[in-house]
Amino acid sequence: MVKKADIGGKRLISLAPTAWVQWVTQRSDVVVQEILGSEFQWIGRDNDVLIKVRSQEQGEFLVLNELQLRYNNKMPVRMRAYSALAEEKYGLPTYPVLINILPPSAKTAIANRFESNFLGLQALQEYRVINLWEVEASVVFEQSLTALLPFVPILKQGGDRVIVQQALN
């Protein structure tokens, strides 16, 4: 069953998907081709948004967006699993992105990779981490990131009354 937060993420990103993928990949040449179905039912959870994109330099690839209210220590293995499942299902390389909405407790370190070494075999999955509380609110307006408008108050400098009013308008 899809969680309400998942549906909200899909709707928000679908408002301006190309602006979104250009922001998360930090590449201006990336263009959205399609928002894909991302149901990996055999692991019992949907990831938030899987987008097929095209870049002149990289060709076709997937941008896997995992939006989390708060980071938890299970995210590295989840990102590894989702990335592998997306690559296997669609046969394309995957650029995984974890977007944390609210900061975790002070003791929690946010990882940007999964690593394991078992019986001499190594596994590694890196992913980009975007912590919304570290993102300047002005970026939302400068880059037309419609998907981030509801989050302006939690963005860096986003609590300013003028900025919140701009987001509301």
SS3 for 130-169, per residue? Answer: EEHHHCECHHHHHCCCHHHHHHHHHCECCCCHHHHHHHHC
**pLDDT of amino acid 165:** 83
Under-70 pLDDT residues of the chain: 1-8, 37-47
How many beta carbons lie within 10 A of that of residue 18, not counting itself?
A: 14
How far is it, in rounded angstroms, from Cα 121 to Cα 52? 31
How far is it, in rounded angstroms, from Cα 22 to Cα 26? 5
How far is it, in rounded angstroms, from Cα 85 to Cα 16? 25
Shortest CA distance to 79 belongs to which of 109, 108, 105, 47? 47
CB–CB of 50/64 below 8 Å? yes
Domain boundaries, the chain: 4-134, 136-169
3 state DSSP class of 78: helix
Long-range contacts of 73-77 (CB under 8 A, 24+ apart): 73/108, 73/111, 75/111, 76/111, 76/113, 76/114, 76/115, 76/125, 77/114
**pLDDT of amino acid 111:** 94
How far is it, in rounded angstroms, from Cα 5 to Cα 152? 17
